[in-house]
Chains A and B, each alone.
Chain A
Amino acid sequence: MGNRTAEDTVLMKRVARGEKDALGEMYDLYGRLVYSVALHFVHDTSVAEEITQDVFVTIWTKARDYNPEKAGVSTWMLRITRNKSIDELRRHKSRRDIPVGSIVEVVQNTNDSTAEDNDPERLAVREWDRLRIVEAVESLPEQQRQALRLAYFHDLTHREIAEELNEPLGTVKSRIRMGLQKLRKMLETGEVTE
């Protein structure tokens, strides 16, 4: 993970110096992730494309403000993506009302290689990191995962989640707290617990 962080920081510095090639490399590494997260929010491919473009333009213009001590590059990028996606949802409230059940039913593309990045070792390390995160999230009890996903992808308050799921507010709060505590521990220790 350390090498990846260092590589990303160097790449970000090149972006900050105005190297378009570096932004292209950044896109090759994270374009799919940004697009996929945006699509998960808005459920519309053309809007997800617009958000992805907007995210990379923001990275291009704000690269000098990036502080590696505050967040890794991918985390920073995902936070920008989430904020822009939530803004989009707020602008078009109807998108926010997409039924809860559909939020995880996005078809997975089986082509996991990045066409523009041909360094297999680098790709493997990044894919390993990503799969570790996926595994940790998937290992959470369904109800905790569902509550966290509603908070993340629908930007719902705990009260709104409780109404959506028809559950008591205290139950929802407890699921979110326990889910996040478990996830934090798993990511910290690298050990997935059932």
Chain B
Amino acid sequence: MSIDGQEHEKMSHLLPSFVTGGLDPKEGAAVRRHLRRCSRCRKLIAEYRTAFDAIGHSVPLMEPPPSLRTRIIEELPAQPPLRLPAAVRFILDHPRAVIAASLAVLFLFAGSLWLNVSGISGAGTQVSGEARAAEDILAVMSGTEVAPKARAIIATGADQTSGVLYAFGLPVPPEGYAYQLWFTKDGIRRSGGVFRVTPEGHAVHHIRLAVPLSDFPTFGITVEPETGSDDPTGSKILENDDSRSPGTDGGQKTSGFRTNL
């Protein structure tokens, strides 16, 4: 729906009064309706709010008694437990059932991934699809103490520079935050991209790097601002089960995968 220029003019004129609580209920409701549709006014109102907040920022600073800091820290209550969605709680309560179901999904998923990425179809390749898919599991990741029952796998495509992360059991991060995948080698980290989870805590994330994913012995997933970070700043949620030397254990990947699940 387009916004009438006159309406915008009238409403933007009311924004300072809206921010300072000076509108009657009818005008306030009209401004709120307009704000839902007008991104220019939403930006403007954020600026007016910041300007109004400046009144508070401008007070002369007074020194509180030194004992206040100690009192605040000493009397802090326990932080509320992390709220997990019902689906994640189910996963945590029924890990065996979920792992079994995920294993089945994993084989189907990884099989189709390999076939898709390799771009090859036909009876000959289909026969070996599942077996080959298992060989292409690059890493199995387990949850850290922050989310102990979270699990993920990274499967690579035929070109080795692309892949897919499949994760489940992840807590939904706070608003404005997402998960970020990291590849590490010799202390140097490379971002594997930012991804979100479904309300059930599942995620499928496509990865593409300039170098083979298998070059990296270590993988991690942290909580970061949804715009992504240059380096990990948040809690590590998942890490790979084994820190292996790249390129030395072709067959071991599969056995590690089987052992861990």
Contacts of B62 in A (CB 8 A): 32, 35-36, 39, 106-109
A24 interface residue (CB < 8 Å to B): yes
Q: Which residues of B contact A16 (CB under 8 A)?
A: 174
Quote the shortest CB–CB distance from A188 to chain B (angstroms). Answer: 6
| Pairwise interchain contact A176-B61, C-beta atoms closer than 8 A | no
Judged by a CB distance under 8 angstroms, whether B73 is at the interface is: yes
B-chain residues with CB within 8 Å of residue A133 when the two chains form the complex = 54, 57-58
Q: Determine chain A's interface SS by DSSP, over half rule.
A: helix
Check if A96 is an interface residue, CB within 8 A of chain B: no
**Cα separation A68 to B236 with both chains bound (whole Å):** 20
Assess whether B174 is in contact with A180, with CB atoms less than 8 Å apart: no
Binary contact track A46-79/B, C-beta < 8 Å → 1, others 0 = 0011001100110011011111111000110011
Chain B residues near A181: list those with CB within 8 A. Answer: 16
Binary contact track B42-73/A, C-beta < 8 Å → 1, others 0: 00000110111111111111111110110111
Pair B16/A57 contact, Cβ less than 8 Å: no
In the bound complex, residues from chain B placing their C-beta under 8 Å from that of A173 are 17, 22
Tell whether B82 is near chain A: CB-to-CB under 8 Å: yes
How many chain B residues touch the partner (CB < 8 A)?
45
Asked if B235 is an interface residue, CB under 8 A from chain A, the answer is: yes
Shortest beta-carbon distance from A16 to chain B in Å: 7
Contact of A151 among B13, B22, B57 (CB under 8 A): B22
Looking at B69, B80, B82, the one whose CB has the most chain A CB atoms below 10 A away is B69
Chain B: CB-nearest residue to A75: B53
Instruction: Answer whether residue B1 sits at the interface, using C-beta atoms and an 8 A cutoff.
Output: no
Chain B residue nearest to A53 (CB atoms) is B72
**Residue of A with least CB distance to B47:** A184
In the assembled complex, the CB of A133 is this many whole angstroms from the nearest CB of chain B, namely: 5
A12 vs chain B, min Cβ distance (A): 10
Q: How far is the CB of B164 from chain A (nearest CB, A)?
A: 28
Q: How far is the CA of A50 from the CA of B53 in the complex (A)?
A: 21
Cα–Cα distance between A153 and B80 once the two chains are bound (Å): 32
- At the interface, yes or no: B176 with Cβ under 8 Å from chain A? yes
- B22, B66, B77: the one contacting A57 at CB < 8 Å is B77
Instruction: Judge whether B53 and A78 touch: CB under 8 Å.
Output: yes
Interchain CA distance A142-B51 in the complex, whole Å: 16
Partner of A33, one of B20, B61, B80: B61
User: Which residue from chain B places its CB closest to the CB of A16 in the assembled complex?
Assistant: B174
Residues of A within 8 A of B16 (CB): 176-177, 180-181
Give CA–CA (A53, B82) in the complex, Å.
Answer: 23
| Chain B: minimal CB distance from A145 (Å) | 8
**Beta-carbon nearest neighbor of A85 in chain B:** B56
In whole angstroms, what is the CA distance A90 to B24 when docked? 20
Which of these, B50, B54, B69, contacts A137 with CB under 8 Å?
B54
A149 at the interface (CB under 8 A from B): yes
- Please determine whether A61 and B56 come into contact, CB atoms closer than 8 angstroms: no
In contact, B63 and A111 (Cβ under 8 angstroms): yes
Q: Give me the interface of A with B, judged by CB distance under 8 Å.
A: 9-10, 13, 16-18, 20, 23-24, 27-28, 31-33, 35-37, 39-40, 48-49, 52-53, 56-57, 60-61, 63-70, 74-75, 78-79, 81-82, 106-109, 111-112, 115-116, 130, 133-134, 136-138, 148-149, 151-153, 155, 157-158, 173, 176-177, 180-181, 183-184, 187-188
Listed in ascending order, the chain B residues whose CB lies under 8 Å from chain A are 13, 16-17, 19-22, 47-48, 50-66, 68-69, 71-73, 75-77, 79-80, 82, 174-176, 223, 225, 233-235
**8 tightest A-B CB contacts, nearest first:** A108-B60, A158-B22, A137-B58, A67-B176, A180-B16, A35-B64, A183-B51, A184-B51
Knowing that A49-B68, A180-B48 are A-B contacts, what are 11 other residue pairs whose CB atoms are under 8 Å apart, sorted by A's residue number?
A32-B61, A53-B75, A56-B72, A64-B174, A67-B174, A133-B58, A134-B58, A153-B55, A157-B22, A180-B19, A183-B52
